[in-house]
Amino acid sequence: MKLVRMLVAAGLVGLAAGCAGPIAARQDDLQTTQYPQIFLDAYSLHEAIVVQPPIVGFVGAHQLHVAVPIRNKWDRDLHLQYRYSFKDERGMQLGEASPWMDFTVPRKGVDQFQFTSMSPMAADFEVHLREAH
C-alpha cells in the first residue's frame, strides 16, 4: 500500500510538471540545422551532412547572394537536391520557390551551392534540402 501511494504521488508530480509520457525518438521537427533558414527533409540527412554557416551578402543592384557549404560525412558521394525562396523584410515570400536542383557532395568532402535573388527587395532566404530521387 505504501508503494502504491508513492507511485501515485510520483505520477501526480509528473502530471503537475507537464510530463505526458516518454518522448518519442526523433520527435523534433525537421528544422534541426542551427540555421533557421535551412530545412532538411529527412532524418537520414542529419547523419549524412553538416550544414556549415551560410555565406550571405549583397551583389549588383542590392541583390541577396547566398552560398551554402555542405560537408558530406559519408564515405560515398551524396546526391542531393535543393530549392530556395526569398523573403522580404516582413518575412513574406517573394515570388515562387525555385525548382529542385541537383547537387553532389563528394565522399568525405565539402562543396557548396549558391543562388542570387532577382529582386533588391530580398532580405532573407529559405532553403530545403533532400536526397535526390
User: For residue range 50-101, what is the model confidence (pLDDT) as tens digits?
Assistant: 999 999 999 999 999 999 999 999 999 999 999 999 999 999 999 999 999 9
Where is pLDDT greater, at 87 or 8?
87
Residue 51 pairs in a beta bridge with 70
Is residue 70 included in any domain, yes or no? yes
Residue 117 lies in a domain: yes
Range of the domain at 54: 25-131
Structural domain contains residue 10: no
Place of cell 553532389: 104
pLDDT at 33: 67
CA distance 11 to 93: 46
Residue 126's nearest CA partner among 85, 88, 92 is 85
Total domains in the fold of the chain: 1
**Residue 32 pLDDT grade (very low, low, confident, very high; cuts 50, 70, 90):** low
Q: Would 1 be classed as within a structural domain?
A: no
Tell me: pLDDT of 14 over 70.
no
Q: What distance, in Å, lies between the first and last C-alpha atoms of the chain?
A: 59
Task: Write down the pLDDT at residue 133.
Answer: 80
Q: Which residues pair with 68 in a beta bridge?
A: 113
What share of the chain in percent tops pLDDT 90? 70
Q: How sure is the predictor about 13, in pLDDT bands with cuts at 50, 70 and 90?
A: very low
Cell 501515485 belongs to which residue? 8
Using alpha carbons, list the distances in angstroms from residue 73 to 94, 111, 120, 129: 34, 12, 36, 16
Choose among 94, 89, 90: nearest CA to 116. 94
Residue 100 lies in a domain: yes
**107 domain-assigned:** yes
**Which is higher by pLDDT, 4 or 103?**
103
Closest among 64, 72, 56 to 105, alpha carbons compared? 72
Instruction: Give the three cell numbers for residue 72.
Output: 558530406
The CATH number assigned to the domain holding 48 equals 2.60.40.3230
45 close to 38: Cβ distance less than 8 angstroms: no
Answer whether residue 124 is part of any domain.
Answer: yes
43 vs 26, residue with greater confidence: 43
**Which residue in 59, 66, 69 sits closest to 85, CA to CA?**
66
